[in-house]
Amino acid sequence: MLDDFFMRALLAGLGLAVVTGPLGSFVVWRRMAYFGDSTAHAAILGVALSLAFQVSIYAGTLLVALSMALLVSVLAARGQAMDTMLGVLAHSALAIGLVAISFVPAARADLNSYLFGDILAVGRADLALIWGGGALVLGLLLWRWQRLVTATLNEELAMAAGIDPRTERLALSIALAVVVALAIRVVGSLLISALLIVPAAAARGLAPTPERMAAIAALIAAASVGAGLWASLKLDSPAGPSIVVAAAVFFLLSLFFRRN
């Protein structure tokens, strides 16, 4: 089964979907869309550094994504105007990454795969990293679930309960950085935020509790992966964008079901 490139792509997408559902729910609840953009766009700089120093793409991307996530967390703790700051960081990180990658000849020919993903080229080692890293992130979210939900709903209530909101914000930042590093081969740096936000946004009006929303978001993300890969195979369209288009269709369907 793993010798079939389509099955490897499907397994990689499903491994990512299981994590992006719950994590994307927190991104939606906390209105962290720009946070995801800034971390994802910084991944291109990680790709450039990885190729320049001949290290693993995942390692370089994770290092840069973690650095960006920690920087944003520090700025948030200091009370910076985060909407403007995140906008500046997101676009600056992408521009710096594109300039840096232009100096790496090995990356120029394969730039689209890093921007929009190349899930059909995922190998067995990539599968192991995606599922292993995804399991770690999912374990972190399950371990701190109640604390994360409380800190998301009301920081004052969380502090009264002995929960430090800064610690929970840092945990989410680390989880987001890991997911960005895992998703760079699947949907690319420009589409990672969409896979986090769109399924969670679709699930938001269909679930009465945070736990159900996270589960439904994961199911929608998984269905988007399957539908997007099928469309890519039948229409010969790029796989990463096709997955995001499928997620957008599910979002529109969720709006219809909400109205009825």
What structural domains does the chain harbor? 5-259 (1.10.3470.10)
C-alpha to C-alpha distance for 51 and 48, rounded to whole angstroms: 5
At 213 the pLDDT is 94
Q: Kindly write down the DSSP assignment for every residue of 167-181, as one continuous string.
A: HHHHHHHHHHHHHHH
Angle between helices 192-204 and 239-259 (to 10 degrees): 20
* Residue 67 per-residue DSSP state: H
User: What is the token pair recorded at 215?
Assistant: 């589960």
Q: What is the pTM of this model?
A: 0.88
At 106 the pLDDT is 63
C-alpha to C-alpha distance for 155 and 163, rounded to whole angstroms: 8
User: What is the token pair recorded at 63?
Assistant: 């290092």
CA-nearest of 177, 148, 222, 230 to 60 is 177
At 230 the pLDDT is 93
User: What is the token pair recorded at 192?
Assistant: 């990672």
Token pair 């590093």: residue: 181
At 76 the pLDDT is 66
C-alpha to C-alpha distance for 246 and 182, rounded to whole angstroms: 20
CA-nearest of 147, 53, 63 to 106 is 53
Residue type for 19, please?
A: V
pLDDT digit string (tens) for the chain, length 260 residues? 445 888 899 999 999 999 999 999 998 888 877 777 778 888 888 888 887 788 888 888 888 888 887 777 777 666 555 667 777 777 887 888 888 877 777 666 567 777 788 888 888 888 999 999 999 999 999 999 999 999 888 888 888 888 888 888 888 888 988 898 888 878 888 788 888 999 999 998 888 899 999 999 999 999 999 999 999 989 988 888 999 999 999 999 998 887 66
CB 151 within 8 A of CB 158: yes
At 229 the pLDDT is 93
**Angle CA 134–138–141, to nearest 5:** 145
At 30 the pLDDT is 83
At 220 the pLDDT is 96
